[in-house]
Amino acid sequence: MLEVNVSGVLRDAVNGAASLQVEAATIRELLRKLLERYPRLNDHMETGIAVAIDGVIYRDTWSEPIPQDAEVFLLPRLEGG
């Protein structure tokens, strides 16, 4: 079971939770299960969500495996110049 830390800007979509327990082996599975549980996250999917696994931010590699002891953060997607 993963502990998923939720960044402040996304918390309103998960009923204010700072962290969630989710069983998932990849980013794709994690996001699918979170969307099933919290449909309001869909509002943020339009602008994008990124997932940080052990400090590395993944924006699009949804096939990335998540080690079960990993530090996982749900973050908003970034823009750069």
Partner 1 sequence: MAETAPDTSFTNQDFKIIGTRPPRPDGVDKVTGRAKYGADAFAAGQLTALILRSPHAHAKILSIDTKRAEKLKGVKAVVTCEDLPDLTGGNRGMLDILENCMARGRALYDGHAVAAVAAIDAETAKKALKLIKVKYEVLPHVTDVDEAMKKKAPIIQPHIRTTGVDPKPKKASNVAARSQFGHGDIEAGFAAADVIVEESYKTEQTHQGYIEPHACLASVGPDGQGELWVTTQGHFVFRNTCAALLGMEVAKLKVTSSEIGGGFGGKTHVWMEPVALALSRKANRPVKLTMSREEVFRASGPTSSTSIDIKIGATRDGRICAASAELRYQGGAFPGIWGMLGAMTTWACYDLENCQSVAFDVLVNRPKSAAYRAPSAPMAAFAVESTIDLVAAKLGMDPVDFRILNAAKEGTRASYGPTYGPIGIGPTLEAVKNHPHMKAPLGPNQGRGMACGFWFNFGGQTCTDINVGVDGTVSLTVGTMDVGGSRASLSLIAAEELGIPYERVKCNVADTASLGHNDMTEGSRGTFSSGMATIFAARDVVKVLRNRAAAMWEIDVDDVAWEDGQAVAKGIAHSNLSPLSLADIARKSPTTGGPIAGHNETVADGAGVSFASHICDVEVDPETGATKVIRYTVVQDAGKAIHPDYVEGQFQGAAAQGIGWALNEEYIYGEDGRLQNPGFLDYRIPVCSDLPFIDTEILEIPNPGHPYGVRGVGETSIVPPLAAIGNAVSNAAGVRLNHVPMSPPRILKAINAAK
- Distance in angstroms (rounded) separating the CA atoms of residues 80 and 71: 25
Q: Which of 36, 23, 30 is nearest to 51 (CA)?
A: 30
Position 79 contacts partner 1 (CB under 8 A): yes
Tell me the per-residue interface mask from 12 to 51 with partner 1, x by CB under 8 A, - otherwise. Answer: x---x--------------------------x--xx----
Query: Per CB under 8 A, does 76 bind partner 1?
Result: yes
Pick the binder of partner 1 from 8, 21, 36, 69 (CB under 8 A): 8
Alpha-helical runs (H) found in 1-81 = 27-37, 41-47
CB 22, min distance to partner 1, A: 16
- Sole binder of partner 1 in the list 25, 45, 59, 68 (CB under 8 A): 59
Report how far residue 71's alpha carbon sits from residue 56's, in angstroms, rounded to the nearest whole number: 10
